[in-house]
Amino acid sequence: MAKTKYVYMFAETDETMRNLAGGKGANLGQMTKLGMPIPQGFTVTTEACAFYYNNNHQFSDEIINQINIAMTNLEELTGKKFGDADNPLLVSVRSGARVSMPGMMDTILNLGLNNVVVAGLAEKTGNPRFAYDSYRRFIQMYSDVVMGLAKSRFEEIIDEMKKTRKIESDIDFTAEDFKEMINRFKEFYRKEMKVDFPDNPKEQLFGSINAVFRSWDNPRANYYRKLNNIPYEWGTAVNVQSMVYGNMGETSGTGVAFTRNPATGENKLYGEYLINAQGEDVVAGIRTPSPISELEKCMPDIYHQFADLAVNLENHFQDMQDIEFTIENNKLYLLQTRSGKRTAQAALQIAVEMFEEGKISKERALMLVQPQQLDTLLHPQFDSEALKKAEKIGEGLPASPGAATGQVVFDVQEALKYVEAGKKVILVRLETSPEDIEGMHVSEGFLTARGGMTSHAAVVARGMGKCCVSGCKTLELFEDEGYFKLNGKKYYLGDWISLDGSTGAIYGERIITVPAKISGNFEKFMNWCDEIRDLKIRTNADTSVDALQAKEFGAEGIGLCRTEHMFFDSNRITAMREMIVADTKEKRVRALNKLLPMQRDDFEKIFEAMGNFPVTVRYLDPPLHEFLPTDPEEIKKLSKDLDVTIEQLNSKISELHEFNPMLGHRGCRLSISYPELAEMQTQAVIEAWINVKKRNPKYTAEPEIMIPLVGDEKELKFIKAIIIKKADELLKANNMSVDYKIGTMIEIPRATLRAKEIADEADFFSFGTNDLTQMTFGFSRDDAGSFLNDYYENRIYEFDPFAKLDQEGVGSLVELACELGRKGKPDLKLGICGEHGGEPSSIEFFHKVGLDYVSCSPYRVPIARLAAAQAAIKHKR
């Protein structure tokens, strides 16, 4: 059997080997091929990392052997010797995952030094100060990264020495000072570790490689991966690279530069450097670096060489690059290059400009912006300076992005009162319920102690484009006393707080916000997306205001209009409650007749807002008890309004109580029990269409009616008959005709298995992946947040399946239903309207399985347009 190759010299890798060699290793290989000045080295692959994790944090003899051979090769390449005093080879050991995770993992520099080698280095370079400085840096890094001794303890020793020597900067230490520092570091090490600091360079090397692999699993890296959807199983590669020294005096230095400005996208070299310093000094902020433009003045040749290489790298990798460099005695080396992180504004500017400069194709330009990034362009943002100064008091789930600042309120009434008085509020609740909707509408954002990413608060927030931080476990709410407690402090009604819905951060103060700017590039870029994508993008909208907003963002129709949200308004809820508590059909119909004109009016407004774009109206879905009050005062008031006794009302409420309402009397089951409900909703839809058509004869959209929670074709058949009867009757009476569509949501696992038969009855399917996820996993969408963390911590799941489609499980059901449905009806229209419709990796999946459209909340429409375009670029249909 061929041996696995775990170690590659840089000359053996190239940019196509990112998965195996990591981004840094692959790029260093490519730069070597391009003939750039790279300190040579080798890469230990991600497969070695996988081996390490699968084998109890141990390497195999084979891996050790391959590393030893690579080290010998490197000695030959550099003409230096590892551990040799006369001509020492020193190396750096650095992480390099498939995608860059800046600052998340560990690095060790100047490896290969001990008392003998350092003396040799001092002599060979004629620069003892440099040699001893390098050694003390190595001891610090190794102790921290490999042995876990806190950096701060070493800093304390340095500070003490500065004090006794009355110096301010590291630059003023002499070689003798560093020698003493080394002794003190080692003494400290011995005291803490009960052994001597390792002198053997090979021991240092394997210890460091081990530590870098281990750092893949540190909390920082785990958090970053979760935030950026990077799978744990990818692992990291390790790069061992021969050292070049920026700390050899005034003709040496080190720096970092971006080929374009990462904040604005401006096409101008942007970066900074330090003379006589090593890499970590630039990041650590001990000395203030100079802007890269200064380098042009003090080392013009080096500057121009660097600027040319930077342009070459950008052209080669077809993206803005973030480059690390070192100057050693007037000679330039590149240490690494990677695609630079950038703000959303910069991402758009760079993509558009690079295309217009003729450097990249339109497809490539579309791949240079991450869909999720667009989000920050759509919501108000904190002023970045003000945010830096603010103090974080807690954290919840980043449920709906945006920046909100306002005064604390605890209920809808307080919210309305404050807003009427011209104040901005943040609604703080244990959890929100549909009853809070009015209060939510007027708030800047919501903060809840419970609930996950698809909790009511989160879904509603995203729908409204409001900021929401949900599920803040450390928040204790004392509603009766009128305050909440967080981070040891009490916050009362009217106190100012701020929420960052993109990170989940909570601040106990007012932070000013600035409105989102949408530059001209944004529109241009979005139009390119539309040229390329196959998927249509619709929106989930329940009001004409949301519909207009979504249209503004580029929605091509409504994929889900949840009709129940219309009934929660204070002037409608009573009629709704009257319908629910009615004990005869007559009473129910009477109440429904009160709701009819309101619903018809809403539909007319929505149809008109969407113009000729299609609108899918979904019939009533939630369990009815959600509409009933729980507060005794409200029950008392309702009993008066409805003219029933409190006892009668309470007995109706307890009759409607269900142990498992999500699996209870909801969805199409309601219209099966009460056909008059489907009748009324049909009348509202069809009459709204008739009225719009009468006002505007050029109106071409056809109403689409959608039945929720169907699990059997007979359910759909039953309700369809009611709809057709009512619709045809109304159209005939008005002497009009329209090819209205009747379709169903596919959100019960059984429906996916019976899709062929259901398709016989349906004009379209729309996947309700919220319920489908809930029922496939058997996880309550409202409660799963409370235990999913344990799943992440134990690596059972890496992401929230309610936010990002579980392609293996739920996705398989979607795929099956598409196949079966189209077998039943080849021209069946297929869409998705669950929350996954706005999530990029899920959108890629929906593109691949051949859906016609995705539907998402208005503020995610631009994200979906870009994600759909990227999916079309990656997978041609």
Catalytic residues: 456, 833
Minimal distance, residue 203 CB to ligand PEP, in Å = 56
Q: Which residue is nearest to Mg ion (CB)?
A: 771
DSSP-assigned states of every residue in 332-381: EEEEEEEEPP--HHHHHHHHHHHHHTTSS-HHHHHHTS-GGGGGGGTS-E
* Strands (DSSP E) found in 580-682: 615-618
Cβ 470 to ligand PEP shortest distance, Å? 16
Q: Would you tell me how many other CB atoms lie within 10 Å of the CB of residue 175?
A: 14
Phi, psi of 705 (to 5 degrees): -110, 135
**Residue 834 interacts with, from ligand PEP, Mg ion, none (CB under 5-8 Å by kind):** ligand PEP
The contacts of residue 721 (CB under 8 Å, 6+ apart) are: none
Backbone φ and ψ of 24, nearest 5°: -70, -45
Return the number of the residue (114 or 807) whose C-beta is nearest ligand PEP.
807
- The partner residues of 324 in beta bridges, in order of sequence, read 256, 336
Least Cβ distance, residue 767 to ligand PEP (angstroms): 7
Q: How far is the CB of 43 from ligand PEP (least distance, A)?
A: 44
The one of Mg ion, ligand PEP, none whose footprint includes residue 782, by CB under 5 to 8 A per kind, is none
Report the 10 Å Cβ neighbour count for 361: 13
Residue type, 159: D
Partner from ligand PEP, Mg ion, none contacting 462, C-beta within 5 to 8 A by type = none
Residue 107 interacts with, from ligand PEP, Mg ion, none (CB under 5-8 Å by kind): none
Query: What residues line the site for ligand PEP (CB under 6 A)?
Result: 560, 562, 621, 747, 768-771, 833-834
Nearer of residues 690 and 758 to ligand PEP, judged by Cβ: 758
Q: How far is the CB of 811 from Mg ion (least distance, A)?
A: 17
Place of tokens 């990796």: 841
CB contact at 8 A, 837 and 854: yes
Residue 564 or 771: which CB sits closer to Mg ion? 771
Q: Which is nearer to ligand PEP, 246 or 768 (CB)?
A: 768
> Shortest distance, CB of residue 770 to Mg ion, whole angstroms?
5
**Beta carbons of 579 and 591 less than 8 angstroms apart:** yes
Could you give the residue ranges of the DSSP H alpha helices within 696-739? 713-733
In sequence order, the 6+-apart residues with CB closer than 8 A to the CB of 794 are none
8 Å CB contact between 619 and 715 = no
Q: Which CB sits closer to ligand PEP, 324 or 435?
A: 435
Burial of 62 (0-12, 13-18, 19+ CB in 10 A): middle
Identify which of residues 141 and 677 has a Cβ nearer to ligand PEP in the complex.
677
Partner in contact with 378, chosen from Mg ion, ligand PEP, none, beta carbon below 5 to 8 Å by kind: none
* Rounded Cα–Cα distance for residues 270 and 722 (Å): 67
Distance CA 800, CA 222 (A): 15
How far, in Å, CA of 268 to CA of 290, rounded?
16
Of 340 and 768, which CB lies nearer to Mg ion in the complex structure? 768
Residue 833 interacts with, from ligand PEP, Mg ion, none (CB under 5-8 Å by kind): ligand PEP
**Residue 763 binding partner per list Mg ion, ligand PEP, none, with a CB distance cut-off of 5 to 8 Å that depends on partner kind:** none
**CA gap 465, 860 in Å, rounded:** 9
Per DSSP, the residues of 472-531 read -TT-EEETTTTEEEETTEEEETT-EEEEETTTTEEESS---EEPPP--HHHHHHHHHHHH
Question: For residues 258 and 275, what is the distance between their CA atoms, to the nearest angstrom?
Answer: 18
Q: Would strands 764-767 and 829-832 be described as parallel, antiparallel, or unpaired? A: parallel
Instruction: Please identify, using beta-carbon distances, which residue of 757 and 771 lies nearer to Mg ion.
Output: 771
State the residues that interact with Mg ion by CB under 5 A. 747, 768, 771
Kindly state the smallest distance separating residue 388's Cβ from ligand PEP, in Å: 38
Distances (CA, A) of 467 to 400, 401, 402, 461, 545: 5, 5, 5, 6, 17
Q: How far is the CB of 825 from ligand PEP (least distance, A)?
A: 22
Strands (E), 27-131: 41-44, 81-82, 88-89, 91-97, 107-111
When CB distances are held under 5 to 8 angstroms depending on the partner's kind, the choice from ligand PEP, Mg ion, none that residue 259 binds is none
Q: Which is nearer to Mg ion, 442 or 663 (CB)?
A: 663
Shortest spacing between CB 537 and ligand PEP, in angstroms: 16
Nearest distance from residue 25's CB to ligand PEP, in Å? 42
* Cβ 99 to ligand PEP shortest distance, Å: 30
Can you tell me the distance from the alpha carbon of 103 to that of 122, in angstroms, rounded to the nearest whole number? 31
Minimum CB distance to ligand PEP, residue 745 (Å): 6
User: Which of Mg ion, ligand PEP, none sits in contact with 395, Cβ below 5 to 8 A by type?
Assistant: none
Long-range CB pairs of 458-462 (<8 Å, 24+ gap) are: 458/397, 458/399, 458/400, 459/770, 459/835, 459/857, 460/432, 461/399, 461/400, 461/501, 462/399, 462/400, 462/835, 462/838, 462/857, 462/859, 462/860
| Strands in 494-627 per DSSP E | 496-500, 505-507, 513-514, 536-540, 558-562, 615-618
- Spatial CA neighbour of 799 closest among 807, 864, 97, 844: 807
The token pair that represents 69 in the structure block? 């051979």
Sign, CA dihedral 381-386-388-389, equals: negative
Report the nearest approach of ligand PEP to the CB of residue 835 (Å). 7
- d(CA 320, CA 338) in angstroms, rounded, equals 8
Distance of CA 486 to the CA centre of its chain: 25
Q: Which of 332, 306, 337 is nearest to 321 (CA)?
A: 337
Q: DSSP states of 157-185 as a string?
A: HHHHHHHHHT--SGGG--HHHHHHHHHHH
* Helical residues (DSSP H) of 804-874, grouped into ranges: 810-824, 840-848, 861-874
